[in-house]
């Protein structure tokens, strides 16, 4: 199944690598991450009944792990952000 509406997975992976190396503030990086995540997730959802979904699902897993390692979620305590480890 060819998906003419999506970019090649290699292009998305490249954009993600650039994002991780960018040094952007967390809030901006998270917005860009969410856009990339949504793009990959949409393709994976369309392909899930086929084996063609596997690379996209693997990319989602790598993206989640890598992004959370680089930009860990913070939580609020007494009005101050604390990084979770």
Whether residue 81 is contained in a domain is answered as no
More confident residue, 19 or 3: 19
Whether residue 54 is contained in a domain is answered as yes
Look up the domain containing 56 and give its range: 9-72
Whether residue 37 is contained in a domain is answered as yes
Which residue shows structure tokens 């680089």?
70
Domains of the chain: total: 1
SS (H, E, C) 16-77: HHHHHHHCCCHHHHHHHHHHHHHHHHHHHHHHCCCHHHHHHHHHHHHHHHHHHHHCCCEEEE
Whether residue 46 is contained in a domain is answered as yes
Whether residue 24 is contained in a domain is answered as yes
Whether residue 85 is contained in a domain is answered as no
Whether residue 77 is contained in a domain is answered as no
The model's pTM is 0.78
- pLDDT (tens digit per residue) in 21-60: 999 999 999 999 999 999 999 999 999 999 999 999 999 9
Whether residue 80 is contained in a domain is answered as no
Give the mean pLDDT of 58-75.
90
């Amino acid at each position: 199944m060819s998906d003419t509406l999506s970019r090649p997975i290699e292009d998305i992976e490249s954009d993600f690598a650039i994002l991780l190396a960018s040094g952007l503030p967390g809030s901006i990086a998270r917005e860009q991450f969410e856009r990339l995540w949504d793009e990959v997730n949409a393709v994976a959802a369309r392909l899930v009944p086929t084996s063609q979904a596997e690379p996209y699902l693997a990319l989602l897993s790598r993206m989640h792990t890598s992004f959370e390692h680089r930009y860990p979620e913070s939580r609020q305590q007494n009005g101050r952000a604390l990084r979770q480890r």
